[in-house]
Amino acid sequence: MLQSIKYKSLILFLIFLFIVPIYSQVREPSPPSEPVFTTNVSKNKTQLPGYSLNGTVIFADNTTNAGVLYLPYDHITFFFSQNKKEYKNTQNITNIKSITFQKWKGYKQNSNTYAFYPIETKIQLKNNISFTCTYFIKDFQKIIFVNLFGETKIYSFFYDYWEKGKWRNSKSKKKDYPEKHPLKPCIKKIVFSEP
């Protein structure tokens, strides 16, 4: 019997030794925190390069597409002739109303491949003053364009192939035809939107 009491005492002691500290650590649960909603856009997402502006692009086939254009810089420096004098002008991109590519020149790439780059570009400012540049403005060669469909690159130049006395894509037999008739998907005009 004495052993039974010692055994019960030992059990009570062990229960007290382990259960009481555990019970004293148990607390009422705290209310759940409010849910956090996240989007798919990461805060650390890298920005697209360049300066962004809203605008509408008019392609060679006269289709249009509105979106955001990413230009290399927030300004452009260009050269133009006025009264037989050469001038240099620098404009903030936000001052520009539109850019129109008016004429292209073909540069032979190999035996029958030509790359046509714009060599006459009209830059119209928002105050309706315009300048015609008669050289290739490299800043507009390739532009990142983002719209509802996603991100793409648009170009102010195009290729055609002189084969058997005519252009493969335009089907014209006139050697200078592509200079005034760019091919899709080449852009021929950009109209910037107000912010």
pLDDT digits (tens, 9 = 90+) for 5-50: 555 665 655 555 555 555 555 555 444 444 333 333 333 344 666 7
Helices (H), the chain: 2-25
Q: In the prediction, which pLDDT does 72 show?
A: 87
Q: What is the dihedral of CA 130, 179, 156, 167, to 10 degrees?
A: 170
Specify burial of residue 16 (Cβ count, 10 A radius: 0-12, 13-18, 19+). Answer: exposed
Using the structure block, give the residue that is written with the tokens 């192939």: 161
pLDDT digits (tens, 9 = 90+) for 169-194: 999 999 999 999 999 899 999 999 97
Q: In the prediction, which pLDDT does 37 show?
A: 33
- Residue 158 pLDDT greater than 50, yes or no: yes
Report the predicted TM-score, pTM, of the whole model to 2 decimal places: 0.73
pLDDT digits (tens, 9 = 90+) for 52-111: 999 999 999 999 999 999 988 899 999 999 888 999 999 999 999 999 999 999 999 998
Element at 29 (helix H, strand E): none
- Cα–Cα distance measured from residue 75 to residue 125, given in angstroms and rounded to the nearest whole number: 13
- Cα–Cα distance measured from residue 29 to residue 156, given in angstroms and rounded to the nearest whole number: 64
CA angle 104, 119, 53 (to 5 degrees): 100
